[in-house]
Chain A
Amino acid sequence: MTSSELEILRAIQREGGVAGVTTISAACDLTSGYVDLLCRYLKRGGYLSLAGRSGVYQLTLKGEAALRRTTLELGRYLEAQERNQIAWVLDRILASLRELERPGRPMTRRSWEEERITGARPPEEIAIKTAFIDPLEGVDVEMEASFDKIGTLEETASDIAEGVAALRKLKAGTEEQEE
């Protein structure tokens, strides 16, 4: 169950076990469309049922049980989260200290700029292009661009030979049948 779904169950509980979508959305600070969607999922899961008219939901026994259970679980989860976060921060501090202790090796941080220059984009000379054709009118348009070939390049081992052969075989078969 997500935190938003739990919030909805809690909001309904606060309203005495029955609440409309508008009340719930105001209590949870979520849009009514989203709350309605979540309520439908909760109804499907058996946590809510319709309270007579559409858009008004009530907690079921399963919903109440889920709330009791998750309050306990949430406590345990938050404790664990706190422990994890402390461990994570300590890890980073220790890693930075180790890095600083190494002689002659400055700390490095990969920035977007570095990645752009060293990895993703091939180092190509800028060529100013001036001739372009309007794709609709088919006439030259006054335009200037700073690039010729753009985009990130990635190469992988080719595995298309089997596919190409199979497709050619199928095509040949179809053509024979047509003849």
Chain B
Amino acid sequence: MFSMKKRLFTIASIATFGILLGGCAATAPDDGTISIWVDAARVPAVDALQAKYPDMKLEVNTISNTGGSSGLKQQFTLFNQSGEGWPDVIFFGALDDIAWAASDPVDYAMDVSSVMSSDYWDGYSDAAIAPCILDGATVCVRNDQAQDVLWYNKTMFDQWGYTPPTTWEEYESLSLDIADNHPGYFTGLVGDALTTARYLWPSECPTNVRVDAETVKIDLEDSSCTRVKDMLNTLVEAGVVSAGGAFDSEVADKVGPNLVMTPGATWFGNYLFRDTFKVPAGQISASLPLAWEGEQPSTGNEGGGLWVASKHVADSKLGDVETILEFMTTDSSWQVELSTGFPAHGSVQDAWLAKQAADGYFADPDTVSEVFLEAGAMVAPYSLLNYNTGDVYTRTVAAKLASGGTFAEGWEDFASELPKEAKTFGYTVATK
């Protein structure tokens, strides 16, 4: 004795659910479509790829590299649970991502050492491909190198009679000089997640040294760390190093245009100075990374993206995947024409540098080119682990600075939180 209304509703619901079920059971069509996940900045790369290979079937998904990588990790946890859904190729903007993507429990990355030719591998310097080598396997290919160099405003320096420093000690005293004689100008940024790469990595401060698969060494009391802390504390107090971050919009407006010196990645030149801070052409130049007095110069990497292929790719698609990896790292229509980052693969570096010189943005492009090339070989060894030192830095030191505290106070929080973060990821923390 169901009313007509109710019966109709029941039928309608069941029918619709059926449609939904059917419609939603969208299994990936295995017609050779390659699924490729990139961040917004790499979409032009995929466009270039498609332009060169119009017959290749690509399915593009844009991902966000911010908000920690737990958004990505979430999806990969999911794929492992359900046994499907992995992208065939993915771009990681942050180096740390390869650590979790290539190890248990995610275990997603394909070992491409035998997939690419030996000629191809010869094109990579050891430093350039280092982040991709994990336990003897090569689990990714490097898109760009983001080695830190010392950026400075040559026009202002010439005007003030300065020459770029070669040691960190000189950097500190020059910054204090600028603070006294030219207030309102800045010589560094310490408010973003790449600060640790920019200042701590070159000093070889042990924030994440892989001892073995389960153990990490963290020792922020080491002199290699405290010397950076003291220097930055002094400079932030003096107001000459900004508590803002490279990606803050306030920095873009107020600090960036007056940033006359800073260590920074190769992409600072175009991406930050030219496009974001809009410093006029012909002013910015770069010099070699700094050294601590009596030591060899060494530098860090602020990113430098990775292209990763999935272990789960069907054999029939392997050829296309190899083509994609090779294109993304060596094809000039992307690497030279469009990419704002210094190419990691040797075969396109000169062409990229030549284009930069032709664009005429830097004050002395030849020097900048040389500096980029040399600095590439100065990158200090660095372990990539499941936790992100930069993220911990941001929510301790950068947060403290934003609430009006000092760098040293924030550092205390940083020093106490970093080992705890490592432990939640299952690492045992050693201090020696």
Same complex origin of A and B: no
Which A residues fall within an 8 A CB radius of B?
none
Which B residues fall within an 8 A CB radius of A?
none
